[in-house]
């Protein structure tokens, strides 16, 4: 409830894969990257540094990154560069490894983890902890040595976050006592140095880099979003519990947008059910204010892949190349930070709307007017501004908001600026290639149709959305059957979402032909021995809701004349009895109970319909 799932796995860094797949093109690219890989073995540190920087830049391109991975880049980084005698090369190598885990996700992360990256991380944290005390006093540490140390800490912690975020197995391994104890110890020691005494102060200047501080916040947020045990642990931690109490009240002078949003995300995770409506409103407003000045077009421009003829990785001398790489990396890092801020903001806002719905259903019915204004006027504007670049997230955000409106009895079709039109246009324009988008569109559509059900004259809205004819049903049927390239869970979610839409559209009056199509389809599913038990339960619930009253205009011409009662007795009951029998009570007690309830309800429904017209 309310958990802001941090992000889709490995989606922090958005890159644009380029469709280059010819053998000729591959040879041209290899001719460019092989000398760089060779230079990583050079005895000259400057050559290794330049090559590593160039490779890090080239890895922003998905196609070249794939070529580099096939040339065993990960193995080379782990076996040679993570232990390089040159500190800057070693630090940058951890950064490259982190980026690869973020960009590629599960496959690279699991390979890195199974290659015993934890031993390197453990050693790196040891070096970091040894060096921190030298900074505490009036040390002679140079600005460059401090920068390197903070970059090292940033790369180590963000690598841990990237690994944890890519795999549940890796996350579970990191939650083991020895590893988690070390992580918390490192975080605390950095914070003790980086945060000056804050008693009675609200404005604070960090003594560490903003990037390192944000990585620590990201670590806390990520692990909190995945584990209630972690939340309990840090809530009882002698240092971190106090840090989390003061964090929301601090103004970090050298913080940035991501600092603000991560702070709100942590607040949401830690407080969650304890939050009052006023606190949720403040959280949403603060999150929105953090992103309102981000120029999305500028961010997109700075994240564009390198041009084919870019001379970034070439130059008259190593210093020239290194400076160009640093400038490019700095600009791209700033853009990536802003992109992550936008993504995270949507996750937090979406989770906040879910939390509001949960609180309302628990009995907290009086929602402040100011919060209602944020929900009905503010959020639709935010969503519209971001929908082109964050369509997958926005589908989830709109879905949550639409269902929240239903929970709060907010009439979507009476709101100013007619946001329902914007939602409908957005749904129709979202790319259908991603499985998540297909499912998200159906869920939003279901919420829209539910809202239409509450209108005095639903037919005008059904007509406006073109959902009032058999063509619409055929489109949903087609979507139901188009499950190629989907995994098992995605197939179920897609089919379930289709049935939810049909369950709503089939219940409208004055469209008997549509109802007949839906009813026939549901009877077929309920009679089919390949329909999963969970879907059988859902479809049966929809079917009974649709035909629960003989007064509905479609009941006599469809339910009665099409012989649905006979079909239920002769086809559906035997199929459900057999299907439900094979649900293992020990493996899935909830589903088993739902199946039993559904079967009993079907029996009662049959007896009811037999006597309804007598």
Summarised one tens digit per residue, pLDDT across range 293-340 is: 998 888 888 887 665 445 555 555 666 667 777 778 788 888 999 999
pLDDT digits (tens, 9 = 90+) for 450-462: 999 999 889 999 9
Q: Is the confidence at residue 563, as pLDDT, over 80?
A: yes
Which of the residue ranges 191-195, 211-215, 554-558 would you say has the lowest mean pLDDT? 191-195
Neighbours of 52 (CB within 10 A): 25
b/e map 313-352, b = 16+ CB within 10 Å? beeeebeebbebbeebbeebeebbbbbbbbbbbbbbbbbb
- Indicate the average pLDDT of the chain: 89
Task: Please determine, for residue 6, whether its predicted confidence score (pLDDT) is greater than 50.
Answer: no
Token couple for 256: 């940035």
Domain residue ranges of the chain, discontinuous segments joined by +: 23-343, 367-505, 520-614
Query: Rounded to an integer, what distance in angstroms lies between the CA atom of residue 91 and that of residue 513?
Result: 67
C-alpha atoms less than 13 angstroms from C-alpha of 234 in its C-beta half-sphere: 28
Q: What is the pLDDT of residues 172-182, one digit of tens each?
A: 999 988 999 99
DSSP state string for 532-543: -HHHHHHHHHHH
Q: Give pLDDT tens digits for 8-25.
A: 333 444 444 444 455 667
Q: Name the one residue in this structure whose structure tokens are 């939810």.
A: 500
- Phi and psi at residue 251, to the nearest 5°: -110, 105
Question: What is the pLDDT at residue 19?
Answer: 45
CATH code for 23-343?
1.25.10.10
Say if CB 218 and CB 263 are below 8 A apart: no
Give the tokens for residue 50.
Answer: 């330049």
Q: Quick one: average pLDDT of 98-115? A: 93
Global model pTM greater than 0.85: yes
Of 300, 314, 309, the C-alpha closest to 53 is: 314
User: Once rounded to an integer, what is the mean pLDDT over residues 183-193?
Assistant: 95
């Amino acid at each position: 409830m309310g958990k802001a799932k941090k992000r889709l796995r490995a989606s922090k860094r958005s890159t644009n894969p380029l469709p280059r797949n010819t053998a000729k093109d591959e040879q041209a690219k290899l001719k460019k990257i092989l000398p760089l890989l060779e230079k990583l073995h050079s005895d000259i540190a400057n050559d290794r540094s330049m090559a590593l920087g160039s490779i890090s830049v080239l890895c922003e391109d998905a196609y070249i990154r794939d070529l580099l991975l096939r040339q065993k880049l990960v193995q080379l980084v782990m076996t040679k560069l993570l232990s390089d005698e040159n500190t800057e090369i070693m630090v940058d190598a951890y950064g490259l490894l982190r980026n690869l885990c973020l960009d590629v996700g599960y496959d690279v992360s699991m390979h890195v983890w199974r290659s015993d990256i934890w031993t390197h991380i453990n050693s790196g944290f040891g070096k970091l902890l040894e060096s921190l005390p030298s900074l505490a006093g009036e040390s002679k540490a140079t600005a460059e040595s401090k920068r390197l140390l903070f970059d090292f800490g940033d790369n180590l912690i963000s690598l841990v976050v990237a690994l944890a975020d890519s795999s549940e197995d890796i996350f579970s391994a990191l939650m083991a006592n020895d590893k988690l104890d070390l992580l918390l110890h490192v975080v605390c020691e950095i914070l003790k140095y980086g945060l000056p005494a804050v008693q009675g102060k609200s404005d604070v200047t960090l003594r560490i880099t903003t990037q390192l501080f944000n990585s620590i916040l990201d670590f806390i947020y990520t692990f909190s979003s995945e584990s209630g045990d972690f939340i309990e642990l840090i809530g009882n931690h002698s240092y971190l519990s106090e840090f989390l109490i003061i964090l929301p009240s601090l103004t970090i002078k050298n913080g940035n947008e991501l600092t603000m949003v991560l702070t709100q995300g942590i607040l949401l995770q830690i407080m969650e059910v304890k939050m009052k409506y006023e606190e949720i409103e403040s959280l949403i407003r603060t999150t929105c204010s953090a992103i309102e000045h981000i120029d999305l077009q500028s961010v997109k421009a700075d994240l564009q892949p390198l041009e084919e003829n870019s001379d970034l990785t070439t130059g008259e001398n190593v210093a020239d190349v290194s400076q160009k790489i640093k400038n490019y990396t700095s600009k791209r890092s700033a853009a990536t930070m802003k992109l992550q801020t936008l993504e995270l903001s949507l996750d937090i806002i979406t989770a906040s709307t879910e939390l509001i719905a949960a609180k309302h259903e628990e009995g907290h019915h009086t929602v402040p007017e100011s919060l209602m204004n944020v929900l009905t006027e503010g959020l639709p504007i935010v969503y519209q501004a971001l929908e082109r670049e964050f369509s997958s997230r926005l589908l989830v955000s709109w879905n949550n908001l639409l269902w929240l409106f239903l929970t709060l009895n907010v009439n979507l079709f009476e709101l100013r600026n007619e946001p329902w039109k914007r939602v409908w246009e957005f749904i129709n324009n979202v790319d259908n290639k991603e499985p998540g988008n297909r499912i998200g569109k159906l869920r939003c559509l279901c919420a829209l149709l539910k809202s239409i059900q509450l209108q005095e004259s639903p037919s005008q809205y059904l007509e406006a959305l073109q959902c009032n004819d058999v063509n619409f049903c055929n489109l949903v049927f087609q979507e139901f059957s188009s499950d190629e390239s989907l995994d098992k869970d995605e197939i179920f979610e897609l089919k379930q979402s289709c049935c939810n839409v049909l369950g709503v559209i089939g219940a409208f009056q004055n469209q008997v032909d549509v109802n007949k199509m839906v009813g026939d389809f549901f009877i077929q599913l309920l009679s089919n021995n390949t329909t999963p038990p969970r879907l059988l339960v859902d479809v049966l619930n929809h079917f009974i809701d649709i035909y629960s009253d003989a007064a509905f205009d479609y009941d006599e011409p469809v339910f009665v004349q099409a012989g649905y009662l006979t079909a239920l007795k002769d086809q559906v009951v035997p199929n459900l009895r057999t299907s439900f029998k094979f649900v293992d009570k020990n493996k899935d007690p909830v589903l088993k109970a739902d199946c039993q309830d559904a079967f009993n309800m079907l029996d009662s429904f049959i007896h009811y319909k037999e006597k309804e017209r007598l």
